Each structure stands twice: as structure tokens, then as C-alpha cells.
A and B are shown apart, each in its own frame.
Chain A
């Protein structure tokens, strides 16, 4: 119906084993600009292994991960040199960790955490950096007067929002998220989800979200991939997979959710 755009990320037969143990096996998919994909599955299903392979944190055993770069078009990120990949992860990619402490520098002020990312891509003007930090703290609903406080004085929800600001300030095109709402209160979760949805829509971001929370993917993800024991057992439109699951495991997953 629409003209086929170039996928932003094209994953071809990615596999990763830990010895005899399968991490993820033969995963392929295309992610288009502006699309949000959810990956669900129980603990140990390989979803975090896959995310780390895609984000360049973990080298897969086989497969290709093609990213549509701004300058050279689709490039295999696994074949890139380390400095090239590091530059990509500062400019075009962002990674939101489940534990905000893994994504923040706890000894540096909130403003410093946001500003550091800007400096890493070449910003040198103090006032400009500070203004952008204030702007981003506002967007993630952190009071500007907390800019000089260290993140260890922040609540869990605030730390997570700060991590998101730090990640998005450089205008990435692809965001990897590992259980972004894990370990947060339900009310804090709702606020974070609302925030993420707005940012994804307004900035036209593509995202891959790993979670075990089906309510999170229903709200955020256009598409869903269900993993079990390292394999993708089902994928499709999020509401179709959740409302009309085809695979036995997905049916079990959906029917196990407590109704409130």
C-alpha cells in the first residue's frame, strides 16, 4: 500500500550460544523508521541476549545486523571498527538500562549526566550544554532546581527519567530499552510510559523494548516478538499477538496475566 522504506535496522539470522546453552537462535527481522518493537518472554528466554547482540554489547556467533547510517546507508554494525561503533552508539543509538545506575554516572550531577553525552559528540559551549540539559530535565519532568544534585539523591523513577534524558539528548534514531519500567511503582510506571510514548511520537524514534510486562508492550509497541528458550515462537502486530495468540507458549503467557 505504501512505498517500502529502507529498514532502519535489518537483523539477519543472529545466533548466540554460551557453550552448549543457546542464548538466542536464528533471529531475523526488519525494523522500520518510527516503529516500536517489543520483545517479550520469561526470564532466560534470550531476550536480553538478543538486545545486547543488536546493540553491539555482545558479539553474536553468526548473523548480520545492518543499520541504515545517516552518511553511508545500510552498514553491518558487527563488521564496523570499534571506534565507528562507539560513535554510532553515541550519535544514533541509545540504550536505556533496567537499572538506572548502569546507565548513569552516580558521582556526577544530573546536569552533568545529560551534558556529558553532548560533550561526547563534540559540544563545547558551557552555556549551550547547560541550557539543553535544563530543557531535557524539563521534558522528563525533573525540576530544574535539581540540576546540580547527584542522581543518588533521586528516587528510582526520577533516576530512570534522568537516564532517558541522558540517552535522548543527542537525538538518537534508535533506542534500545531493557525492562525500562522494571522495579518501579505502578504509578511511576504509568508516568514513564506516557512520557516514553510522547517522546517516541514527537521525535519519530524507533525503539526495541525488552520486557516481561505485556501491559507495557500493549501501550508502547507496534509490533511484538515472543521468545522462548532462545527462539522466536511468534511475531506480529502487538494487539493481534496478544488478542489472538497462535503459539501455545504465547497463549500461556497471555492467559497468565492477572486481571485488575
Chain B
């Protein structure tokens, strides 16, 4: 009685990668926020966004702070609900998808490295990083080996691995977050300022990880304020300001 089929959905995500050349596709997507408790004010965040990303491609979102870059990423991740348009990741349409489809998508196909680490208190760093692999059914030893490799590459001292990252410095938390985001080889990745607050050597490690993900065919959308990093790893830039409408109150 096999009811949950993560392997199967992983395979279908992989096969669609080769069948059709697009991994992430947005068509005429717009997003508004209606603040019911502030006189029903409507904030138009982004309007009429169409874009697509193919496997192995890294696309940078650019635009001033508040232009809607993070909003766009959250829409793709299913964290925000689009008002109009369609968003496809693999063959799943995000807006109409049921919660358990989005959960399966996030487990198997779509990774997201946010700017902030959000973890359960008390859980050791090694387990935090290994969790995405445990979620797809990898044995504990195997998942922890992969986590240890990533933490070593990202220069997190082994003495910290058994501690919860809640007490770590900002830069350390950011690196734990990145290790977690790259533990499972997702076919699609969203990166929100992955190199912010990192020193030179750690920044290089992160850029290497992104290059490796591209080489294995991941479709990547990223926000990079670091222009040199952007030039080094991104194939295209999309200016999000062009999708932003004047903000109405």
C-alpha cells in the first residue's frame, strides 16, 4: 500500500524538465494586498508579471527596495496568493493547487532560501540542515553526512553542530540556512539574497554551490544586491520595477 509517492513526483518533476524546457513560468501575474482593518486600503504590489526560467538557468530579479522582488518569490513559493494570472512550477499550477500539492512541491521540487532562518527551538544545527533530506525519506546517517559536508564547506565549526542555531550570529544563521536550502538537489530554487552578510570566502562557497546547482540543471531565481556575484552567476536580469504600478492607498 504505497500512498505517498515522493519518488514518483520527483521523477515526474525530472521528466517534465526534459520534456518541456520551462521549469518556472509566470503569466500575467498580479498581486494586491487588501488591508481590511485599515479602511480596506488596497496596495497593488506587482501587476502583469510574465516570465519563465528554464533548467540550468539563473535569473536575477532587480529593482529598488520595495519594488516587489521578494513578493514575486513568495508568490512562486505559494506563500502569497496571486490575485490574477497563473504560476507554474514543473506541471503544478500554484494558485489552484491544494495545500498538500504545495507541500509535496516544496519537499521534492522547489527549494527556497529566505533571508532569515526560522527553526524549531532546541533542534541541533546538523538536524536542521538534514531535515529536507529526512523529509524525502533519506536514512538519518546518509542525510547527516550530507549536512556535515555542507556545514564544513560553509565553515561552520563542528563544535556548533550539536547546538540549536537560534543563538548563532547573523552570518552563521545565514550559512546554516543556505546549507539547509542546498541539502536536497531541488530542480528549482528561489534564493533571496544568499550572499548578503557573508565574508569573502563564504561568499565564494555560496557562489560555487549555485554554479553546481546550475550545472545539474536547476532553474534558479535569485535576488542579489551584490553586483559582481550577479554578473558571475546570472544569465539574465529582470527588472521588477517595470511590473510595479504606482502604489494606491
Indicate which residue in A34, A239, A247, A252 contacts B4 across the interface (CB closer than 8 Å).
A34
Interface bits A217-260 vs B (CB < 8 Å: 1, else 0)? 00100110000000000001101100110111001100100000
For chain B residues 77-107, which have a beta carbon within 8 Å of chain A?
A: 78-81, 90-92, 97, 99-105
Indicate which residue in B79, B105, B122 contacts A244 across the interface (CB closer than 8 Å).
B79
Q: Enumerate chain A residues within 8 angstroms of B104, measured Cβ to Cβ.
A: 1-2
Q: Enumerate chain A residues within 8 angstroms of B36, measured Cβ to Cβ.
A: 247-248, 251-252
Known A35-B100, A237-B99; contact A1-B37, beta-carbon cutoff 8 A: no
Question: B-contacting residues of A (Cβ < 8 Å)?
Answer: 1-3, 5-6, 32-35, 190-191, 193-194, 197, 201, 219, 222-223, 236-237, 239-240, 243-244, 246-248, 251-252, 255
Question: Which of B5, B12, B74, B81 has the most chain A CB atoms inside 10 A of its CB?
Answer: B81
Interchain CB contact under 8 A, A194 and B90: no
Interchain CB contact under 8 A, A243 and B80: yes
Question: A-contacting residues of B (Cβ < 8 Å)?
Answer: 3-5, 8-9, 12, 33-37, 74, 78-81, 90-92, 97, 99-105, 120-123, 134-135
| Further pairs besides A244-B33, A252-B36: 5, Cβ < 8 Å | A1-B92, A2-B101, A35-B99, A246-B34, A252-B37
Distance between A25 CB and nearest chain B CB, rounded to angstroms: 21
Distance between A226 CB and nearest chain B CB, rounded to angstroms: 13
Known A5-B3, A219-B120, A255-B37; contact A244-B81, beta-carbon cutoff 8 A: yes
Distance between A212 CB and nearest chain B CB, rounded to angstroms: 19
State in angstroms the CA–CA spacing of A222 and B92 once bound together.
18
Known A240-B80, A248-B36, A251-B36; contact A3-B8, beta-carbon cutoff 8 A: yes
State in angstroms the CA–CA spacing of A244 and B74 once bound together.
10
Interchain CB contact under 8 A, B102 and A193: no
Known A194-B123, A251-B37; contact A240-B4, beta-carbon cutoff 8 A: no
